[in-house]
Structure 1
Amino acid sequence: MRERDLVDAHLSAWIAALPSSTLYAPMAYLLGLPAKRVRPVLTVMSCELFGGAATNVLDEAVGIELFHNFTLMHDDIMDASPLRRGQPTVHAKWDVNTAILSGDAMLVKAYQIMGSDPLVLSTFNRYALEVCEGQQRDMEFEERTSVTLAEYKEMIRSKTAVLLGCALRIGACKAKASEADQERIGAFGEDLGLAFQLRDDLLDAFGDSTVTGKQQGGDLRNGKKTWLMIRALERSAEVGDERLLAELGKPVDRREVPLMLQVLRELGVQQEAEEEVNRLESSAFAALDAIAISDVRKEPLRALVRALQQRSR
């Protein structure tokens, strides 16, 4: 993909220019791990959609990727995750203090890039703060006994989806698109972000572990408050089915994932989730269709979405 190649080349040059020190080595390490680069690619595609040149937005595309990786570095600390993309996390490879400082420095680097354009900076400020708010909600949910679907959706919108919308808005801003079109392309990204998160939940629960490389139903076994878990508990209460609650009352290593998946299927939760994914994707494409630009110019975005829809891991 041409846009991906442009992003990779620009990011590689940025990494190569980093000073050689312990502060910057974790940045280079994390940015060097295999990744799809969806957000910076969306930034480039959005700029080109509205008639801008890719070369005019590559710095901002890198800035988006830096911010995204800053959130990953700090999220891994908060979650005590040992692995990221199959490799040791920064805090596991170095230590927690180094990961905190390197993440902070990565955030500063992102702001150095975004600060060169006041309109871009204003957009970035708005959504970067929402990402932090979403992460805070996610941590709070882990301490609560119940979470509603509306609360969960707002958390995912803030923590995950808004950064896709931000990436697209910044690309449109650099191409001097109208404010209305910036909002439309941003809405496209946010609905896609919500749809992709729900697809991930479905893959975790029902995907083939030999393909995904993850234990089937790992989030269910751990009682994680995903869309599927929240809706399954709602449906269980509605019909008086106590099987899921009984499993959650057991020690984690004794929970029967096949039974939990069976409950989700029988209660119609899997089908509801698939229908919600389709609804979100339809809403996203409606926002894209509302932009008065030829379908030929929109095709790169559509092709990227199709590729992401087919992913199995």
Structure 2
Amino acid sequence: MALKLYLEAINKEIAEHKYGNHPQELYDPLEYIMSLGGKRLRPALTLMSANLWLYNWQKAVKPALAVEVFHNFTLMHDDIMDQAPIRRGQATVHEKWDTNTAILSGDVMLVAAYELLAEVEDANFKHVIKRFNRTAAEVCEGQQLDMMFASKENVSKEEYIEMIRLKTSVLLGFALELGAIVAGADQESVDLLYSIGVNLGLGFQVKDDILDVYGEQAKVGKQIGGDIIENKKTWLMIDALEKAEEFGVVKELNTWLQKETFDNTEKVTAVKAIFDTIGVKQDAEQAMHGYFNLAFDSLKKLNVSEDKKQVIRSFAEDLLNREH
């Protein structure tokens, strides 16, 4: 019930917030991408965190929206880099308008995030901005590593985890950290919440990698095996490459990775069979549970009442058990 309230507050703020109106061509793409929906996980985490200490958690809504605006800014620019035509079932900004407009509208989104963070009380503002700046830089570092991995022959699991920590997890950590700072929590609690967010993010991404191969297409909402088709270096693919020799499937796996023309379904079926031989799914699930358990351990150490922590615990369990 609490999560529903948080999401309603966030969506109401998104619908009512004005970023600017002239020239309209600059701000329309911003309004458009924010209207496309999404899970709104990050701002929800900020409000959950604030409510651990604040009865009036609504004072954290604008800072929470800053996190969501920044997240969508990264998506707008990622779509340009990936030349992606679709985002959440609709045309991406650079497809609907053009690349230059998407770059500039993305830039103004970053400015909008700072303006929303300026709603934080003066006593906390400098600390919040320093943490946001560090997080924003780390997200960019993660994206750069991800692009470099596309052409890098060997990527270790440690390198992959560091990449997704930067690209995905640190923003979840900041979202929880931000709510605690707004609520005036002690530094130990702020640090614990950051750790919870980072580990939830790592577990979330490994779960994503699993669902891409082993999820049900109707539930996942996209083609199963897309990562395999693209030879994407996910946790599962790296695990398979590390263990291929031990299971005698090096030649078969490399043959599929090196093919330039192939039937998508045939490739996904063949590589998935190799994954099954190696036990990649079980390995990935073990790693995923490890990260979620680290998050739950940090949650236990948080010095607030159990009933308040339950909202975050339920949220984390939903992420762990999701099918899409």
Same fold per superposition (TM over 0.5): yes
> Structure 1 residues 79-88 or 229-238, which shifts more?
229-238
**1:154-198 CA distances to partner (integer Å, 9 max, x unpaired)?**
000000000000000010001111111111001000000011111
Question: Residue 220 of structure 1 corresponds to which residue in structure 2?
Answer: 228
TM-score normalized by the length of structure 1: 0.96
Residue 304 of structure 1 aligns with an amino acid whose one-letter code is F
TM-score normalized by the length of structure 2: 0.93
User: Aligned match of 1:263 in 253, 274, 281?
Assistant: 274
Question: Residue 97 of structure 1 corresponds to which residue in structure 2?
Answer: 100
Using the TM superposition, give the Cα deviation of residue 262 of structure 1 relative to its aligned residue in structure 2, in angstroms.
1.1
For 1:100-249, what aligned pairs fall within 5 Å after superposition? 100-116=103-119, 117-242=125-250, 243-249=252-258
Q: Is the 8 A contact 2:213 2:272 kept in 1?
A: yes
User: Aligned match of 1:250 in 253, 259, 273?
Assistant: 259
Residue 278 of structure 1 aligns with an amino acid whose one-letter code is H
Q: How many residues align?
A: 312
User: Aligned match of 2:73 in 70, 79, 92?
Assistant: 70
SS at match of 1:81: coil
Question: Within 2, Cα distance between the matches of 1:164 and 1:286?
Answer: 17
Q: Is the 8 A contact 1:43 1:170 kept in 2?
A: yes
Using the TM superposition, give the Cα deviation of residue 123 of structure 1 relative to its aligned residue in structure 2, in angstroms.
1.4
Q: Is the 8 A contact 1:52 1:174 kept in 2?
A: no
Question: Residue 122 of structure 2 corresponds to which residue in structure 1?
Answer: none
Question: Within 1, Cα distance between the matches of 2:57 and 2:280?
Answer: 42
Question: Within 2, Cα distance between the matches of 1:149 and 1:42?
Answer: 27
Q: Is the 8 A contact 2:292 2:320 kept in 1?
A: no
Using the TM superposition, give the Cα deviation of residue 216 of structure 1 relative to its aligned residue in structure 2, in angstroms.
1.6
Using the TM superposition, give the Cα deviation of residue 252 of structure 1 relative to its aligned residue in structure 2, in angstroms.
4.7
Question: Residue 295 of structure 1 corresponds to which residue in structure 2?
Answer: 306
**1:133-174 CA distances to partner (integer Å, 9 max, x unpaired)?**
100111111121111110000000000000000000010001
Question: Within 2, Cα distance between the matches of 1:281 and 1:52?
Answer: 28
Question: Within 2, Cα distance between the matches of 1:41 and 1:299?
Answer: 14
Using the TM superposition, give the Cα deviation of residue 269 of structure 1 relative to its aligned residue in structure 2, in angstroms.
0.9
Question: Residue 289 of structure 2 corresponds to which residue in structure 1?
Answer: 278
Q: Is the 8 A contact 1:114 1:124 kept in 2?
A: no
Question: Within 1, Cα distance between the matches of 2:60 and 2:143?
Answer: 27
Residue 194 of structure 2 aligns with an amino acid whose one-letter code is G
> Structure 1 residues 17-26 or 37-46, which shifts more?
17-26
Using the TM superposition, give the Cα deviation of residue 296 of structure 1 relative to its aligned residue in structure 2, in angstroms.
0.2
User: Aligned match of 1:19 in 14, 18, 21?
Assistant: 21
Question: Within 1, Cα distance between the matches of 2:89 and 2:262?
Answer: 23
Residue 205 of structure 2 aligns with an amino acid whose one-letter code is Q
% identical aligned pairs: 43
User: Aligned match of 2:50 in 36, 47, 50?
Assistant: 47
Question: Within 1, Cα distance between the matches of 2:292 and 2:46?
Answer: 19
Q: Residue 252 and residue 64 in structure 1: after superposition, are their counterparts in 2 closer, same or farther (change >3 A)?
A: farther
Q: Is the 8 A contact 2:247 2:277 kept in 1?
A: no
Q: Is the 8 A contact 2:20 2:27 kept in 1?
A: yes
Q: Is the 8 A contact 1:70 1:106 kept in 2?
A: yes
Unaligned runs of 5+ in 1: none
Using the TM superposition, give the Cα deviation of residue 85 of structure 1 relative to its aligned residue in structure 2, in angstroms.
0.6
User: Aligned match of 1:28 in 31, 34, 42?
Assistant: 31
SS at match of 1:24: helix
Unaligned runs of 5+ in 2: 120-124
SS at match of 2:262: helix
> Structure 1 residues 246-255 or 59-68, which shifts more?
246-255
Residue 68 of structure 1 aligns with an amino acid whose one-letter code is H
SS at match of 1:216: coil
Q: Is the 8 A contact 2:94 2:101 kept in 1?
A: yes
